[in-house]
């Protein structure tokens, strides 16, 4: 944890950063900026994920790092040297594309050997490296096949082997698992993470899948609207989102408008739309800003006799009840018309009838007050 915290503030230590974006801006039409004022350091050996919805600027950022787009303004340093004007083939960066981009007219082995010929590695030395790279992704036996004869997961592995065979210090991945089914995707996430740690590669990974980002990353940069909304390790990001966008994008969150009334023993007291008051953990903020109270469904429980004192209590009218195997999903209308969803573990759940009044509780520490 502390190491990660240090890395977050690595801006002051240039020797630690393999990649550094300084004040990078990108515009395609000269009017609208796709990437606005990007400042980002990627440390050596780090797995950094750029997470965001489509159009958030994450892929453009990756393409600028890969050399396929030029920043409109600002600088990108790779290993301390500016690379904005360096063509992709001179950057020595491994790149895995969304659709793998394997060369269909070459065999798997020829695909993997492709980057080696540009580095003067030929003959037995090249064959040895190809064998080792394919071994790393358990595809030794597939060298003579054409990419079209492989399954999606195998093609993905070939793309990985091809990007790693020339031992780049930095590997970029653009939604590489998007086309795979769920089970395979989860297995590949673990394989990629293993490869990255065992080879000590620095990896910059782009995805819109938050669970993928949470599984694999050392740090996640959440992109929205051309800016990094929050840059933190997965746990911090999940438990302490800094703004409303991050709270809504990572995991599920109930967000409700509220206003700050005052403070009480280190907690904020907020007034909800219907006039009721709740306590919330307070990281903010100016009192006059528009505020949002955010609480995750799994942190809302049924209120009863055993409910410890000091918790936020509220009640609502049940609207939807879904049975989901290990838990029950209960939506209630509370605080004068706002929908609040709770995840009730099946062990403590009972049946609810729509229209029934339900009493709920949540801890003040789990209620986060956000600006915006």
Q: Which is nearer to another protein, 104 or 337 (CB)?
A: 104
Q: With binding defined as CB under 8 A, does residue 52 bind another protein? A: no
101 binds another protein (CB under 8 A): yes
Nearest-approach distance from CB 38 to another protein, in angstroms: 21
Does residue 355 touch another protein according to CB under 8 A? no
Residue 63 vs 370, nearer CB to another protein: 63
* Tokens read off for 165: 């065979």
Q: Which of 5, 39, 99, 315 binds another protein (CB under 8 A)?
A: 99
Please state the closest distance from residue 183 (CB atom) to another protein, in A: 26
28 binds another protein (CB under 8 A): no
- In three-state secondary structure terms, 128 is helix
Tell me if 30 contacts another protein by CB under 8 A: no
Contact status, residue 279 vs residue 293, Cβ threshold 8 Å: no
Name the CA dihedral angle for 157, 159, 162, 164, rounded to a multiple of 10 degrees: -70
- Check binding of 27 to another protein (CB under 8 A): no
Q: Site for another protein (CB under 8 A): how many residues?
A: 26
- Near another protein by CB under 8 A, which window of 66-74, 209-217, 235-243, 305-313? 66-74
Asked whether position 157 contacts another protein by CB under 8 A, the answer is: no
Query: Hey, is 59 helix, strand or coil?
Result: helix
Q: Is residue 165 within 8 Å of residue 112, measured between CB atoms?
A: yes
Provide the minimum distance between the beta carbon of 159 and another protein in the complex, in angstroms, as a whole number: 8
Q: Is residue 87 at the binding interface for another protein, with CB under 8 A as the rule?
A: yes
Sign of the torsion angle spanned by Cα atoms 344, 348, 353, 356: negative
Kind and range of the H or E run holding 244:
helix 244-249
Q: How far is the CB of 115 from another protein (least distance, A)?
A: 4
Answer yes or no whether residue 88 interacts with another protein by CB under 8 A. Answer: yes
The verdict on 166 binding another protein (CB under 8 A) reads: yes
Q: Which of 4, 97, 215, 273 binds another protein (CB under 8 A)?
A: 97
Do 10 and 17 form a contact (C-beta atoms < 8 A)?
yes
Closest by Cα among 31, 35, 10, 13 to 23: 35
**Strands 312-323, 170-174: pairing kind:** unpaired
Q: Which is nearer to another protein, 103 or 322 (CB)?
A: 103
Q: Is 176 in the site for another protein (CB under 8 A)?
A: no
Interface positions, 109-128, toward another protein (CB under 8 A): 114-115, 118-119
To another protein, the closest distance from the beta carbon of 204 in angstroms equals: 13
322 binds another protein (CB under 8 A): no
Q: Pick one of 38, 40, 50, 67: the residue that binds another protein (CB under 8 A).
A: 67
CB of 32 to another protein, least distance (A): 17
Query: What are the backbone angles phi and psi of residue 308, rounded to the nearest 5°?
Result: -65, 155
66 binds another protein (CB under 8 A): yes
Q: DSSP for 135-196, please give it.
A: HHTT-GGGTTS-GGGS-HHHHHHHHHHHHHTT--SEEEEESTTTTS-HHHHHHHHHHHHHHH
In terms of CB distance, is 28 or 323 closer to another protein? 28
Determine the angle formed by the axes of helices 152-164 and 182-199, rounding to 10 degrees.
20
Between 42 and 62, CB nearer to another protein: 62
Q: CA separation (Å) from 332 to 34, 42, 184, 255, 325?
A: 39, 43, 36, 14, 20
Q: Which residues of 212-245 are buried (b: 16+ CB within 10 A; e: fewer)?
A: bbbbbbbbbbbbbebbbbbbbbbebbbeebbbbb
Of the pair 67, 241, the CB lying nearest another protein is at 67
- Does position 45 interact with another protein (CB under 8 A)? The reply is no
Q: Which of 93, 130, 164, 361 binds another protein (CB under 8 A)?
A: 93
DSSP letter, residue 250? S
Q: Is residue 187 within 8 Å of residue 138, measured between CB atoms?
A: no
* Contact set with another protein (CB under 8 A): 66-68, 87-89, 91-95, 97-99, 101-105, 114-115, 118-119, 162-163, 166
């Amino acid at each position: 944890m502390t190491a990660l915290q240090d890395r977050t503030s690595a801006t002051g230590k240039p020797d630690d950063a393999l990649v550094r974006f300084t004040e990078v801006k990108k515009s395609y039409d000269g009017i609208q900026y796709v990437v606005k004022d990007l400042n980002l350091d990627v440390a050596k050996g780090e797995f950094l994920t750029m997470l965001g919805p489509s159009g958030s600027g994450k892929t453009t950022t990756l393409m600028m790092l890969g050399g396929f787009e030029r920043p409109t303004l600002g600088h990108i340093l790779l290993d301390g040297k500016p690379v904005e004007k360096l063509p992709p083939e001179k950057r020595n960066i491994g790149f895995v594309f969304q659709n793998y981009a394997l060369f269909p007219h070459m065999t798997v082995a020829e695909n993997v050997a492709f980057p080696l010929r540009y580095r003067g590695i030929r003959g037995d030395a090249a064959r040895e490296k190809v064998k080792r790279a394919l071994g790393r992704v358990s595809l030794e036996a597939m060298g003579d096949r054409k990419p079209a004869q492989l399954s999606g997961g195998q093609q993905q592995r070939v793309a990985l082997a091809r990007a790693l065979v020339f031992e780049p210090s930095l590997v970029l991945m653009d939604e590489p698992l998007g086309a795979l089914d769920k089970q395979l995707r989860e297995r590949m996430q673990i394989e990629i993470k293993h490869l990255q740690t065992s080879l000590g590669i620095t990896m910059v990974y782009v995805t819109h899948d938050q669970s993928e980002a949470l599984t694999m990353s050392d740090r996640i940069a959440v992109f929205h609207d051309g800016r990094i909304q929050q840059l933190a390790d997965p746990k911090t990001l999940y438990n302490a989102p800094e703004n409303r966008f991050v709270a809504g994008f990572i995991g599920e969150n109930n967000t409700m408008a509220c206003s700050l009334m005052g403070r009480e023993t280190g907690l904020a007291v907020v007034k909800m739309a219907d006039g009721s008051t709740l306590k919330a953990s307070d990281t903010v903020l100016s009192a006059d800003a528009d505020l949002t109270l955010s609480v995750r469904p799994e942190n809302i429980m049924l209120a009863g006799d055993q409910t410890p004192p000091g918790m936020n209590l509220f009640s609502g009218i049940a609207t939807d009840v879904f049975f989901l195997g290990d838990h029950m999903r209960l939506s209630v209308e509370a605080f004068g018309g706002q929908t609040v969803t709770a995840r009730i573990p099946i062990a403590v759940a009972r049946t609810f009838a729509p229209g029934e009044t339900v009493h709920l509780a949540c801890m003040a520490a789990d209620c986060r007050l956000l600006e915006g």
